[in-house]
Amino acid sequence: CNLTGWWKNDLGSKMQVFKVSSDGTFSGEYHTAVSSTKKPIQPSPLTGSQHLDEDGQCTFGFTVNWKKFSDSTAVFVGQCFRGDEGKEVLHTSWLLREKVDSEPEDWKATR
């Protein structure tokens, strides 16, 4: 699976991976289509690592720092599959950590 290029999810968010290095590390930008902030959404930097696998169904993970419009950070983990007609498809899970004002509010900080 070659993560380099543009990817789009079911909610309309897009991710661009600039280049995957020979050791599997990569960087790019995430263009989210959804946000709970009232500030205008902006593209956000991402950094990650891909497990390079011979069968092409690699696992990967990346972090997105929403620093341009939010006080939150998200991490994604996933795997690439060969879908219908050989098309590459990514399946991911994510966690979002939002900043809270105090430790007693920690319970509501992660989704």
- Whether residue 65 lies inside any domain: the answer is yes
Distance CA 57, CA 82 (A): 7
- pLDDT value for 54: 77
> Would you write out the chain's pLDDT as a tens digit for each of its 111 residues?
889 999 999 999 999 999 999 999 999 999 988 777 777 778 899 999 999 877 767 999 999 998 888 888 999 999 998 877 888 899 999 999 999 999 999 999 998
Q: Which has the closest alpha carbon to 35: 61, 71, 3?
A: 71
Give this prediction's pTM: 0.86
- Whether residue 82 lies inside any domain: the answer is yes
Question: The domain spanning residue 81 has which CATH number?
Answer: 2.40.128.30
- pLDDT value for 71: 85
- Whether residue 109 lies inside any domain: the answer is no
DSSP state of 42: -
Range of the structural domain that residue 86 is part of: 5-33+41-104
**What type of residue sits at position 42?**
Q
- pLDDT value for 20: 93
- Whether residue 110 lies inside any domain: the answer is no
- pLDDT value for 97: 94
- pLDDT value for 57: 77
- Whether residue 86 lies inside any domain: the answer is yes
- Whether residue 46 lies inside any domain: the answer is yes
User: How many structural domains is the chain composed of?
Assistant: 1
- pLDDT value for 83: 76
